Structure 1
């Protein structure tokens, strides 16, 4: 009887030890239920990259952007997908969040195939749909470029319609607007439907002084958590890097993602695939940090305190310094 109890105690201890070890290698990730980051996380799990890098992903679907930031701030999750502008503002207010690039895919101004609009200056007097509201980063950058290059006030000289991205897509397809600036995946769907790309917000940023494309969104987390779990965090980013490599090179992998992307046909899937690949960060992170600081200063001028908060320069540590020189 004593032997059985002893063996049972050993088994229970081993089980508890394994559970603690698993918990120590688990990352809780809050993501938008239909967000594009879910494609990368699915690729990690389906290709067992989590096992390869000895991590476990606890994916928490959330309903909206505000829900993800609240979950991170409250400690319900370790990591979310957001943008560097939010991170910089939080750091300027005393928080310790930091950012690792996920994608430089950005929205573009799209017009119908038969439109006579061929450049930013041709938008004068047109009806434009804009997702993200009047303080959307891409909209502000393109407004700034139009002002400089064409002496055109896109906000003052045009009828601008703000709204939810899917609704604006429908209005564009029904011919209710002359042009639309939407998030990159919605722009890709319009491209598959025959719409033409005029200019995207990264092209606008480069025209205004950036030297190359910068990431629109990235993985965001508390720097104190990352410092305390550095090996775990780096292992996750290594898994994410491997997933990006698969998504960049394997068309078959995108077939596995077809349902998750919501692609309605082959052309739509191909457009989503190609634009996703286009946005995979490849530049040295130190260069991207420099360009992001340049764009931040532009946005501070264009959007003011309402957009960036009290700081007119990007806060130090906005990008996770551990990865600035690679890992």
Structure 2
């Protein structure tokens, strides 16, 4: 091919532009990843860190974040193809796979709820919960609630739902009632528990404690990045980029206290409360091989299915194969 003088001049300019691009060709051909999250959920902390430090673009993806009002809305958006990824729990993924779906999950967080009591409460163990008024977030089929029920029945012969006055409600309302002394104990989501810890409460028993006592060998991710296998196969750079970018954001949040100070307005906490949220978030960063988590989740599935029944897990008697995605071989 013969180069004209005009093209000869353009070539160095083009080379300079490519060299100046943040990631060469990847910056031009970034894979777009549409993720749906709860508007005020904790996932937004990690995604803000990810985008603030451009971990998305450095891993070859363009992250498009869509906010939703509730978990059901994110589920519907994923199933309808309006987003590529959401963050939800492995039980739902297994149930959907049992029904023929190709959904799968990459671990996001092992942080789980706990039963909280006031620091000066006379309640020192599960056995002493009998006859008490307990607030439970997440409803009667909440995984943490079912695991703690199973532990109470196995070790103490106590059927918590029948032996206690159980109050179901929204997490912030239950935390408020607990602080006002209207509840003897409260089982709440991990970040509400962290806020309670910063305000004079202590952990009586965590869902992770119950899981370990019931057979798990280590922390199991309660939540994961959930997506269709078909999407992961057709756009492997998208899911791989998201998982790598997420890991970099987690690594920064695990090491940098300054990053948490930057996030304070989004977290809506400061001082001791921000520190407790930071510490509990860090404890929830997945660090085990996916195969180990998957094996433990399968054990817990059987425990949960025995209590929650078909309303919780559907018709599947065991956790559906492929619930955990092993595409990156972690």
Same fold (TM over 0.5): yes
Deviation (angstroms), 1:22: 6.0
CA deviation vs aligned residue, 1:74-124 (integer Å, no higher than 9, x gap): 000000000000000000000111001100000010001110111111101
- Displacement of 1:302 in angstroms is 1.0
47-56 vs 156-165, greater mean Cα deviation: 47-56
**Residue 295 (structure 2) pairs with residue 290 (structure 1):** yes
Contact (CA 8 Å) 1:300, 1:307: kept in 2 or not? Answer: yes
The answer to whether 1:151 aligns with 2:151 is no
- Partners of 2:29 and 2:123 lie apart in 1 by 55
Say which of 308, 317, 321 aligns to 2:322. Answer: 317
1:129 alignment counterpart: 135
SS in 1 for 2:321: coil
1:23 Cα offset (Å): 7.7
Deviation by residue 1:228-278 (Cα, 9 ceiling, x = unmatched): 011221111111100000000000000111011111x31110010000000
**What TM-score do you get using the length of structure 1 for normalisation?**
0.91
Q: Which residue of 2 aligns with 1:138?
A: 144
Q: Give the drift of 1:285.
A: 1.2
* Alignment partner of 1:274 is 2:279: yes
Q: Does the 8 A contact of 1:108 with 1:201 survive in 2?
A: yes
Q: CA deviation at 1:321?
A: 2.7
Does 2:252 align with 1:242? no
Dislocated runs of 4+, deviation >2 Å: 21-24
2:55 to 49, 53, 58: 49
Alignment of 1:177 onto 2:183: yes
1:51-90, aligned counterparts within 5 Å? 51-90=57-96
Indicate if the aligned counterparts of 1:22 and 1:56 stay in contact, CA closer than 8 A.
no
Unaligned runs of 5+ residues in structure 2 are 1-26
1:196 to 184, 198, 202: 202
CA contact (8 A) 1:126 1:159 kept: yes
Change (3 A) 1:195 1:90: same
CA distance in 2, matches of 1:22, 1:116: 62
What SS does the aligned partner of 1:60 have? strand
Residue in 1 that maps onto 2:97: 91
* Partners of 2:144 and 2:67 in 1: CA distance: 26
For 2:241 and 2:65, the matched residues in 1 are separated by 16
Q: Which runs of 5+ in 1 are unaligned?
A: 1-20
Mapped to 2, the partners of 1:171 and 1:106 lie a distance apart of 21
Q: Following the alignment from structure 2 to structure 1, what is the Cα–Cα distance between the partners of residues 217 and 144?
A: 17
| Alpha-carbon distance between aligned partners in 1 of 2:323 and 2:287, rounded to the nearest angstrom | 19
**Structure-1 separation of matches of 2:246 and 2:279:** 18
2:307 to 293, 302, 305: 302
Work out whether 1:40 is the aligned partner of 2:46. yes
Task: Select the residue among 91, 103, 106 that pairs with 2:109.
Answer: 103
Tell me which of 150, 154, 167 is aligned to 1:161: 167
